[in-house]
């Protein structure tokens, strides 16, 4: 454990205080976080008020209303969880699953694996529907798994798999689930898609969808927007057992949102930042924002292929905001990343798992989904 050295000379303080934290200005083109616009940074510095202050509660209500627009839903239970995107995953699964339930989970990357882990910790029996990393899980495979496991309570899948750069066909997966098992509740991970790729919760028929602030919404990490549909709310209300997590218990959180009953101290500054970030998203327009991400990402991917880079994600399933590039032979992937960071203040991400040493994950999210940023990347990357 590191300890601050004591100043044995005495005086006004007996501890040698370190200097102010020096964090460099980086261009963040990894898998997240992304750069934050000045308006959001300014919002983060606004005065602190209590989490039950009427002025703050009005901000919370406006955040929920804007999140409904961004999620494409009319769900009343739409709000930001206090925690990062992984907290959204925990909130979704701990509320819906009880010990002994069956959860069918699509796995085609790291975050599908993480869903399995969380579901196991809820006491669920997990049925995996797998696809090779870099490819989508096929809707027919989802239907087959649900048909073979009648009574499954939850189907969970990742819309935008951050580890592989793959976009699932969310509408098709939800439709297959509904046809094969009408009572199953569908949970969608939209951590990397919300604000950059179309998310249409009500049109898809998804029951729970969660995200994170630090990707295409261009807000610092620390909140996990989430929405629970009516069937999911009913599931929570009719549980046989208490939700495993007190902190993420939907019935307690909605008491704060609806009745202003104290639950936990909401992160006031982060909510102010998210409020401004959502205003920026809606001012631009969801369709325009998505088009901007598509233009930047497809341009980067096309040029990288022309330069001899492979693209890990299968054609037709590639996320524009998160490119998984296979590094050509003869290039030290880790050394290039180090030099870009230290010499150009440019961050790109490494691959994960078996692909850690031969892949880069390059993010063009939020403020960074522009031709200007693509130009910087293409100038900096070898080849």
Q: Is 4 among the domain residues?
A: no
CA–CA gap between residue 170 and residue 178 (Å, rounded)? 12
Are 91 and 124 members of one domain?
A: yes
Of 257, 282, 307, the domain-final residue = 282
Query: Cα 27–306–167 angle (5° rounding)?
Result: 65
Q: Work out the pLDDT band at 4, boundaries 50, 70, 90.
A: low
Are 122 and 60 members of one domain?
A: yes
43-87: pLDDT as tens digits: 999 999 999 999 999 999 999 999 999 999 999 999 999 999 999
Are 131 and 149 members of one domain?
A: yes
Query: Cα 203–137–194 angle (5° rounding)?
Result: 45
Domain boundaries, position 362: 27-34+286-380
Of 282, 311, 342, the domain-final residue = 282
CA–CA gap between residue 215 and residue 223 (Å, rounded)? 11
Q: Indicate if the pLDDT at residue 108 is higher than 80.
A: yes
- The whole-number pLDDT of residue 126 equals 98
Q: Is 253 among the domain residues?
A: yes
Are 78 and 181 members of one domain?
A: yes
pTM confidence score:
0.95
Are 196 and 76 members of one domain?
A: yes
Backbone angles phi, psi at 205, to 5 degrees: 85, 25
Q: Indicate if the pLDDT at residue 5 is higher than 80.
A: no
58-67, 250-259, 313-322: lowest mean pLDDT where? 250-259
Q: Is 278 among the domain residues?
A: yes
Q: Work out the pLDDT band at 257, boundaries 50, 70, 90.
A: confident
Are 316 and 370 members of one domain?
A: yes
Percent of the chain at pLDDT above 70?
A: 97
Q: Who's near 309: CB < 8 A, 6+ residues apart?
A: 325, 326, 327, 328, 383
Q: Indicate if the pLDDT at residue 7 is higher than 80.
A: no
Q: Work out the pLDDT band at 354, boundaries 50, 70, 90.
A: confident
- The whole-number pLDDT of residue 109 equals 97
CA–CA gap between residue 19 and residue 52 (Å, rounded)? 35
Q: Work out the pLDDT band at 14, boundaries 50, 70, 90.
A: confident
Are 262 and 338 members of one domain?
A: no
Q: Is 6 among the domain residues?
A: no
Are 295 and 236 members of one domain?
A: no
Q: Is 14 among the domain residues?
A: no
Q: Indicate if the pLDDT at residue 133 is higher than 70.
A: yes
- The whole-number pLDDT of residue 159 equals 98
Q: Is 354 among the domain residues?
A: yes
Are 292 and 278 members of one domain?
A: no
Residue 369 near residue 296 (C-beta atoms within 8 A):
yes
Q: Work out the pLDDT band at 137, boundaries 50, 70, 90.
A: very high
- The whole-number pLDDT of residue 10 equals 52
- The whole-number pLDDT of residue 256 equals 87
Backbone angles phi, psi at 272, to 5 degrees: -65, -40
- The whole-number pLDDT of residue 356 equals 86
260-304: pLDDT as tens digits: 888 899 999 999 999 999 999 999 999 999 999 999 999 999 999
Average pLDDT over residues 167-187: 98
CA–CA gap between residue 167 and residue 55 (Å, rounded)? 39
Structure-block tokens of residue 84: 């990062």
Of 252, 282, 312, the domain-final residue = 282
Q: Indicate if the pLDDT at residue 8 is higher than 60.
A: no
Are 228 and 311 members of one domain?
A: no
Average pLDDT over residues 122-147: 98
Average pLDDT over residues 165-170: 98
CATH label of the domain that carries residue 328: 3.90.1150.10
Q: Indicate if the pLDDT at residue 345 is higher than 90.
A: yes
Are 293 and 256 members of one domain?
A: no
- The whole-number pLDDT of residue 258 equals 85
Instruction: Count the domains in the chain.
Output: 2
- Beta strands (DSSP E) in 90-162 are 102-107, 125-130, 154-158, 160-161
Query: Cα 236–240–245 angle (5° rounding)?
Result: 60
- The whole-number pLDDT of residue 3 equals 61
Q: Indicate if the pLDDT at residue 1 is higher than 70.
A: no
Q: Is 19 among the domain residues?
A: no
């Amino acid at each position: 454990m590191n300890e601050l050295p004591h100043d044995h000379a005495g005086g006004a303080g007996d501890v040698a205080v370190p200097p102010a934290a020096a964090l460099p200005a980086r261009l963040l083109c990894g898998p997240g976080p992304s750069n934050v616009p000045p308006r959001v940074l300014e919002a983060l510095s606004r005065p602190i008020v209590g989490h039950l202050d009427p002025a703050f509660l009005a901000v919370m209500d406006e955040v929920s209303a804007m999140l409904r627009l961004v999620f494409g839903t009319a769900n009343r239970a739409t709000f930001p969880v206090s925690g990062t995107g992984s907290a959204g995953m925990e909130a979704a699964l701990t509320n819906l699953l009880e010990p002994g339930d069956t959860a069918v989970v699509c796995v085609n990357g790291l975050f599908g694996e993480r869903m399995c882990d969380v579901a196991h910790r809820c006491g669920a029996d997990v049925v995996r529907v797998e696809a090779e990393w870099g490819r989508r899980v096929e809707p027919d495979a989802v239907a087959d798994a649900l048909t073979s496991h009648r009574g499954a309570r939850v189907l969970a899948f990742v819309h935008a798999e951050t580890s592989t750069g793959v976009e699932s066909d969310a509408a098709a997966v939800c439709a297959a689930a509904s046809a094969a098992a009408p009572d199953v509740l569908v949970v969608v991970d939209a951590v990397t898609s919300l604000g950059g790729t179309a998310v249409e919760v009500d049109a898809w028929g998804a029951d729970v969808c969660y995200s994170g602030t630090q990707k295409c919404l261009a807000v610092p990490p620390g909140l996990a927007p989430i929405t629970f549909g009516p069937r999911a709310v009913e599931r929570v209300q009719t549980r046989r057992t208490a939700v495993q997590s007190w902190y993420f218990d939907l019935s307690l959180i909605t008491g704060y949102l609806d009745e202003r009953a104290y639950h936990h101290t909401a992160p006031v500054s982060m909510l102010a930042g998210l409020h401004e970030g959502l205003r920026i998203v809606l001012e631009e327009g969801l369709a325009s924002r998505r088009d901007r991400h598509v233009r930047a990402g497809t341009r980067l991917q096309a040029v990288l292929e022309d330069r001899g880079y492979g693209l890990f994600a299968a054609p037709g399933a590639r996320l524009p905001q998160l490119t998984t590039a296979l590094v050509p032979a003869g290039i030290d992937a880790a050394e290039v990343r180090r030099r870009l960071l230290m010499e150009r203040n440019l961050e790109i991400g490494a691959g994960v798992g078996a692909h850690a040493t031969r892949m880069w994950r390059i993010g063009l999210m939020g403020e960074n989904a522009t031709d200007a940023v693509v130009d910087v990347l293409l100038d900096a990357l070898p080849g």
